[in-house]
Amino acid sequence: MENPVDNIIRNMKLPATPKRKELIQAAYEFAKKAHTGQKRRSGEDYITHTVETAVILAKLGMGSSTISAGLLHDVPEDTATTLEDVEKKFGEEIAFLVDGVTKIGRIKLRGEQEELQLENMRKMFIAMASDIRVIIIKLADRLHNMRTLEFNPPDKQIRIARETMEVFVPIANRLGIGEIKGSLEDLAFKYLDPENFEYVKNLEEEQYTQRKRHLDTAVVELKKELLIEGIKTIDIFGRAKHLYRLFQKLKRHDMDINKIYDLVGIRIIVPDISACYEALGIVHRKYRPLVGRIKDYISLPKPNGYQSIHTTVFGHEGKILEVQIRTKQMDDEAEFGIAAHWIYNEQQKRSLRNFIFGKKIQVPQKELLWVKQLREWQNDLGTDNAEFMEGLKIEFFKNHIFAFTPMGNIIELPEDATPIDFAYKVHSEIGNRAVGVKIDGKMATIDCKIKNGQVIEILTSREHKKPSQDWLRFVRTSLAKSQIKKALRS
């Protein structure tokens, strides 16, 4: 029988050095001893859950400290072994992560009173701001719990599935962890709407079988074309859409599967960015593209960091399919999100040390801005839980757009943001002195909704030094609201 630790090591993205193996093995032995005699509802030994959590973390590219914390995450809460015992054996960093996960585990996300629920949600996101790895461990823990949800009573299945869809899916999305987001959505969908789940599942299986022949032929043809043109491909393969995402698209298209162009698609992985654009030209030379269906997320990434080129083409025998073109790093980041930065920091030997609660914690460079923004933002809002949660839904979980200054600088905003939100994002003085706006060179109203990719020019006046009270009615961002209130008070 395979040693569970070997399974964890085999799935690691980072090099499995002797030191890392030794740490993970020690954490496994410690957790196994602590959980001795404990069983899951499925009848399995409890340690299987912590091992599966650790495997998910290894697949995400997390380091040995985070994987070990994943193995130990239920020890202080569910056994006689204390957090002090964990710290004595494994040190401050791992104990800090285990403690963070334990605290989140105590948060009852669906409190009986709305105020209690808001306060608990707030605590969760403060924990998230302290060290993002705490939330990544919690996501891995939740994913395995969702995979074994069938062993829970029906009422608990619904409660956990709803909590997963409302809380953990948006977190995975904001962290850019596409694989976990898609898996959590599908697993929650199965319990929240079983009738539509079965309908979409059967529909996809039927359609995928019909379209697979054309997909396989297109993969062979494109591989051949790219080889002839001297474009090295790291990988090229077909993929199917996640069920819940397919259901969302079907609802937008009157449940007509024939209107869904990206049910099946091809992903092309190439070595670098220039090869992405060269490959796009070759794909379009081979297959005619659909007008208006080319999306360049490389030059203009999604707010969660997602990068790729998407194009929809008339493939083999005129069958429509989507082609995604990206580098290996972009693909890893699309699947593993912020977690992927640990892999690339390790490879580039450019890790950054950040001091959190007096402890040295390695944090990927690309993560710092997001975490810093979340921490500052929740501090700015003081103790107003309702405002915190409303802002959280808008600022972090709502779809985002990019707009440009006349100089070409990119400003990221939530959907439905207005020119006044844009002005305050550029500078508080520009917001306070705003008197009008030009969008793509034309005059517009200051309360209109900005669209993705527009160029926004804020018109200001030296005489105008104070915002209008009326602006509070239509601005969307917490930053704009707080700056307007501050200026009005002064």
pLDDT in tens, 280-329: 999 999 999 988 889 999 988 876 678 999 999 998 888 888 999 999 98
Residues pairing with 412 in the sheet: 402
Residue range 385-414: mean pLDDT, rounded: 67
Nearest to 283 by CA among 299, 266, 263, 264: 266
Please say if the pLDDT value at position 16 is more than 80: yes
| Residue spans per domain, the chain | 4-192, 194-334, 399-489
Contact between 205 and 363 under an 8 Å Cβ cutoff? The reply is no
Say how far apart CA 76 and CA 199 lie, in whole Å: 43
Residue range 153-178: mean pLDDT, rounded: 85
Say how far apart CA 299 and CA 163 lie, in whole Å: 35
Output the six-digit token pair for 99. Answer: 């403690």
Say how far apart CA 179 and CA 364 lie, in whole Å: 20
**pLDDT one-digit tens code per residue, 461-483:** 888 778 989 999 999 888 888 88
Residue range 156-182: mean pLDDT, rounded: 85
Q: Any idea which residue has 């959980």 for tokens?
A: 35
Superfamily of domain 399-489: Beta-grasp domain (3.10.20.30)
Please say if the pLDDT value at position 129 is more than 60: no
Residue range 58-66: mean pLDDT, rounded: 89
Provide the annotated active-site residues.
77-78
Write phi, then psi, for 354 (nearest 5 degrees): -125, 135
User: What pLDDT is recorded for position 489?
Assistant: 85
Please say if the pLDDT value at position 109 is more than 60: no
Say how far apart CA 74 and CA 153 lie, in whole Å: 22
pTM: 0.70
Higher per-residue confidence, 124 vs 445:
445
Superfamily of domain 194-334: Beta Polymerase, domain 2 (3.30.460.10)
User: What pLDDT is recorded for position 70?
Assistant: 95
**pLDDT one-digit tens code per residue, 335-356:** 877 666 555 555 544 333 333 3
Instruction: Decide: helix, strand or coil at residue 269.
Output: strand
Q: Which residues contact 427 (CB under 8 A, 6 or more apart)?
A: none
Residues pairing with 239 in the sheet: 265
Say how far apart CA 295 and CA 299 lie, in whole Å: 10
Please say if the pLDDT value at position 331 is more than 50: yes
Say how far apart CA 116 and CA 107 lie, in whole Å: 10
User: What pLDDT is recorded for position 166?
Assistant: 80
Q: Considering the domain delimited by 4-192, tell me its CATH architecture.
A: Orthogonal Bundle (1.10)
Return the percentage of the chain with pLDDT > 90, whole number. 43
Please say if the pLDDT value at position 382 is more than 50: no
User: What pLDDT is recorded for position 339?
Assistant: 64
Instruction: Decide: helix, strand or coil at residue 469.
Output: helix
User: What pLDDT is recorded for position 222?
Assistant: 94
Contact between 270 and 232 under an 8 Å Cβ cutoff? The reply is yes
Burial 155-183, CB ≥16 within 10 A → b, else e: eebeebbebbbebbbbbbbbbbbbbbbbb
Say how far apart CA 105 and CA 262 lie, in whole Å: 38
